[in-house]
Structure 1
């Protein structure tokens, strides 16, 4: 039977996972000292020198894509003004902050704001643009493919073309499409295709509809993005998706949102009344298995290069599952090209120089073999 695009179910995004990410507690971890035994040096260390970093959380806005966003009223992304972007500006940013290469991706809203055929065409344009870019600058750029979600059939076709023909380094998926989160069974055929290719999948948060979140005078990128990452990751574990497709490597944005902080609460779900109501068709999670699944995610440092965030991540996974991310150009305000040339000075409060080299270079390159071959010869 052919795959068909789905229509969003009436269930709201909030009801879908309830309060899985409702705790505003990530910053409280700073007081606990978790992870300090394996990470925190006695004093701030100096970062490695040179242009060595590999950035796995960096965005691009190809000219026609950015024009389309503005034409359709997307003047902000997650509450941040839609930025300018060009390859020349990206390279200047990288040179300033010692970044050798960026794996580029399309941020929220992806291409899902466009109707079917237009979304398919825009995804192909963005992916072809990215492939041409890293062929013109092989040691400076890689790319994750954007897919015309929530059209599952078209997304499978585009993923196969982008990975097998264009040679992109992975795929970027938003946490939810039309209120349907990753982990939902409707995405199963896509996950099968990605698992067959042992794909690296960058999970990026999506803006939440205004009628599904509190009316607070705060932009989504400040807090809501982290909660949405948590909802998606939790549902992927709860529905067994991360168990069924172990060859997909998922990178969670912004140090995993609140996943590390809530890891214990998530893992004891089966021991509560929720466990008694667990659907027979889904694998019942155990504490140990959930902890294992959480440890298998990759966590980027974008907007999260602080002792609190890194200690939280180190409490749930090993250092080799942490990868560098800048979130540029959306982080341009916090990473101006003036003054300190270290894009993540807070990492030196947690890692020594050798450990930073691991997080900022070796770990990313191990996940992206095509880019590794390009930058290392």
Structure 2
């Protein structure tokens, strides 16, 4: 790899995440066609790898940043790993070098797990304001390279609403990022309703990112959370939002699910079929009862990013439950640094060419993201 590539943050690791991830996505190819929202022929992988688009065209909707004071606070409060991964170094200069190398025109930056929820009260609110103001400064000084999703001081709902309004209305950030759960309470819980109302009023774009599961609430396996648990938690959040009616009550909120929706596409039929079993008979009073057809429609309305999911197996599963225009590009950088191609290619996700042709990749990697973020689209001339 050339000197530019070597300048990217490279957190220590004893083994390649790329090697570990290879076997994880292989099982997702058999997604149920029963709940398909698009013709099944769209889910058939290309027989031969197609050429990738050229030039600096990609718009990255799953990219993280760690402003200096935020990263220092994480370490000070004992967050030595995030999803089992050491908090990487980050700087605007390193981000631009990464984007230039991999043909990315702009990144919509977001704070990853644990957001600012490791703090409380005024400290959490102040840290959220610091991160959001920092991000706004980036895209004001370099509008064609950076956008941002606002971090909120969850689970303090009044404070989160105040910050969301400020970030969207005053700072003009491109959306917000919400974790799948806060203190074990998942998105979809009635406690989050006031925030959803505020986001609905602003027709907000909401990036749903997985949160780490407490060690006491998961099996004691020698696997980092990013490998499997993150995908499961995204699935739990999406399922709860559907089954409690959030995705129906707030149709103007566009939810992007990280990492190709976790396991949701694969489990789409199982989620909907619950109404046909004893589960449906015991459904909590006041909650919409799941149905196969309704669940299929709601699943098709989510947006799915390609972060750590750039393979025919993962994308075929997504295409079995939604249309291609609901797939957006994501790199997961800088946390994905160890998974990026090491062969000198300037394509950050060559596996996408196993399922998409050149024009389709351009749609996923540029056109779809820009349709959702009008401020960024105007800034980049797209």
Relative to the length of structure 2, the TM-score reads 0.90
Tell me the equivalent position of 1:284.
289
Residues 198 and 249, structure 1, Cα contact 8 Å, conserved in 2: yes
Give the C-alpha shift of residue 278 in structure 1: 1.6
Question: Structure 1 pair 338/73, CA: closer, same or farther in 2 (3 Å)?
Answer: farther
Distance 2:228 2:289 in 1: 30
C-alpha contact 1:36 1:311 (8 A) present in aligned 2: no
Match of 1:72 among 70, 77, 95: 77
SS at match of 1:299: strand
User: Would the aligned equivalents of 1:200 and 1:249 in 2 still touch at CA under 8 Å?
Assistant: yes
Query: CA, structure 1 residues 27+41, in 2 after alignment: closer, same or farther (shift >3 Å)?
Result: closer
Match of 1:122 among 127, 137, 140: 127
Taking the aligned partners of 2:92 and 2:210, their CA distance within structure 1 comes to 24
Q: Does 1:89 align with 2:94?
A: yes
Q: TM-score, normalised by structure 1?
A: 0.91
Q: CA RMSD in A?
A: 1.6
1:175 to 180, 190, 198: 180
Hey, what does 2:41 align to over in structure 1?
Answer: 37
After superposition, the C-alpha distances for 1:349-371 in whole angstroms (9 at most, x for unaligned) are: 00000000000000000000000
Match of 1:144 among 142, 149, 172: 149
Q: Does 2:193 correspond to 1:188?
A: yes
Q: Which residue pairs with 2:222 in the alignment?
A: 217
The answer to whether the 8 Å contact 2:180/2:186 transfers is yes
Deviation by residue 1:80-120 (Cα, 9 ceiling, x = unmatched): 01100000000000000000000000000000001211000
Q: Residues 170 and 52 from structure 1, CA distance in 2 versus in 1: closer, same or farther, beyond 3 angstroms?
A: same
Q: 2:298 aligns with which of 293, 298, 302?
A: 293
How many Å apart are 1:26 and its aligned residue? 5.8
Match of 2:10 in 1: none
C-alpha distance after superposition, 1:258-305 (max 9, x if no partner): 000000000111111111112231222221111000000000000000
State the secondary structure of the residue aligned to 1:261: helix
Residues 216-236 of structure 1: CA distance to partner in whole angstroms, max 9, x if unpaired?
A: 000000000000000000000
Alpha-carbon shift at residue 31 of structure 1 (Å): 5.8
Indicate whether 1:322 and 2:321 are aligned.
no
- Total equivalences in the alignment: 354
Q: What is the rounded CA distance, in whole Å, between the counterparts of 2:255 and 2:32 in structure 1?
A: 27
- Using the TM superposition, give the Cα deviation of residue 41 of structure 1 relative to its aligned residue in structure 2, in angstroms: 2.4
Does the residue aligned with 1:268 lie in a helix, a strand or coil?
helix
Q: Hey, what does 2:7 align to over in structure 1?
A: none
Counterpart selection for 2:171 from 166, 175, 179: 166
Task: Report the Cα distance in structure 2 between the residues aligned to 1:157 and 1:33, rounded to whole angstroms.
Answer: 41
1:132 & 1:169 partners in 2: Cα distance? 13
The Cα offsets for residues 184-226 of structure 1, whole Å up to 9 and x where unpaired, read as 0000000000001000000000000000000000000000000
Compared CA separation, residues 192 and 134, structure 1 to 2 (3 A): same
Residues 312 and 352 in structure 2, CA contact (< 8 A), matched pair in contact too: yes
Gaps of 5+ in 1: 1-23
How far apart are 1:338 and its partner, in Å? 6.1
Hey, what does 1:364 align to over in structure 2? 369
Look up the match of 2:245.
Answer: 240
The answer to whether the 8 A contact 1:26-1:258 is kept is no
Task: Give the Cα–Cα distance (whole angstroms) in 1 for the partners of residues 30 and 125 of structure 2.
Answer: 47
Residue 169 of structure 1 and its aligned partner are, at CA, apart by 0.1
CA deviation vs aligned residue, 1:50-108 (integer Å, no higher than 9, x gap): 00000000000001000100111111100001100000000000000000000000000
Task: Report SS of the residue matched to 1:317.
Answer: coil
Residues 178/33 of structure 1: CA separation in 2 closer, same or farther (3 Å cut)? closer
* Residue of 126, 134, 140 corresponding to 1:135: 140
Residue 110 of structure 2 corresponds to residue 111 of structure 1: no
Shift of the 25–52 alpha-carbon distance from structure 1 to 2, 3 Å rule, reads closer
Shift of 1:25: 8.6
Alignment-derived partner of residue 21 in structure 1: none
SS at match of 2:256: strand
Q: Residues 26 and 261 of structure 1 are in contact (CA less than 8 Å); yes or no, is this contact kept in structure 2?
A: no
